[in-house]
Amino acid sequence: MPGLDQRVAVALSGGMDSAIAAALLIQQGCQPLAVHLRLCDHGPPAGHLATLARGLGLRLREMDLRQEFSRRVVDYFVSEYSRGRTPNPCVQCNAAIKFGRLWELLRAEGLNRLATGHYARLQTAADGALGLYRGVDRRKDQSYFLSRLPRELLPHLLFPLGEMTKTEVRRRYRELGLPVNPDCPESVELCFIPQGHYPDFIRARRGPGTPGELVDLQGRTLGRHRGLEHYTVGQRRGLGIPAREPYYVAEIHPETNRVVLGYKNEVRSPGLIAGRINWLIEPPAQDLEALAVIRYRHPGVAARITPLSAAAAQVIFAAPQSAVAPGQAVAFYLDDRVLGGGWIEERLK
């Protein structure tokens, strides 16, 4: 990070990743402003944040964006489930809040760089443009969640952990003697539903769902479901339907309040239609061969991407894929570079 300018903010969550991102900036001669976003009622104790910032030698500012987060992320999450879709609130939050509203506030105060603890990289591509790339630690890579960031924002971002592994980050944290927050384990759930009980949260937010029919792909009734909020495309567990082989959720139809089930070989899809695509390269005018990643931890599948408009495309997989869920994010890669990402609007049959 040579020539790093001093007008930098670092998003400090209270965990070790963002703390080490801040420490690396300090090592480069920068004294960033540490900014903690209060997005919901769950989060690290204020005392821990203050102790962490003091241990790093940084000023700490807390920004209360709970109302904005509730409107832009939580309402979206609940609405998508009610439409029979599978939301990805982390992708939505990054684009709308962390690199959206927060960036607007920082820019208004004269700051011109934002650093976070994401495992992703920024580097100059062969075409001379700045590109977003996977982090070196493939097990922790978070570039998928950043696929909807505006292309013009990339020059203003810093991802200090992009070249590090999680093991190295943990070791560095211990070496610095920074405080450990016992209430802040490795994040695996949504920040606003820390216990992971999605149906309970949705029911509390908008009321209980209406039970309806479980049907097979031919429309034959197999049983009853408990409410659409209990189901996502690709789900296998909790269906309660005895059969010669396991059923999976193939489709969710809110207009008829039906959940459609199929066997594993019946629910694979040859492709999808992606909408609201955010390109991190010049938008392609013709077919593009790339790797399509249809959910976090998905290994990706070779695909042909055919533009349908500036922000929509048909994606045909080299091999049929399971759990192609409308509402989820799809990200496109060429080697390690993120070409862009959109929302899955429809699975092809």
Cα–Cα distance between 35 and 19 in angstroms, integer? 11
10 contacts 20 by C-beta, under 8 angstroms? no
49 contacts 144 by C-beta, under 8 angstroms? no
310 contacts 66 by C-beta, under 8 angstroms? no
| Residues carrying an active site annotation | 93, 191
Token pair listed for 138: 């493939």
Of 170, 192, 194, nearest to 183 by C-alpha is 194
3-state secondary structure of 172: helix
Token pair listed for 105: 């506030």
12 contacts 53 by C-beta, under 8 angstroms? yes
Phi, psi at 347, each rounded to 5°: -95, 140
Residue with tokens 């570039």, as numbered in its chain: 143
68 contacts 104 by C-beta, under 8 angstroms? no
CA 71-74-80 angle, 5° bins: 105
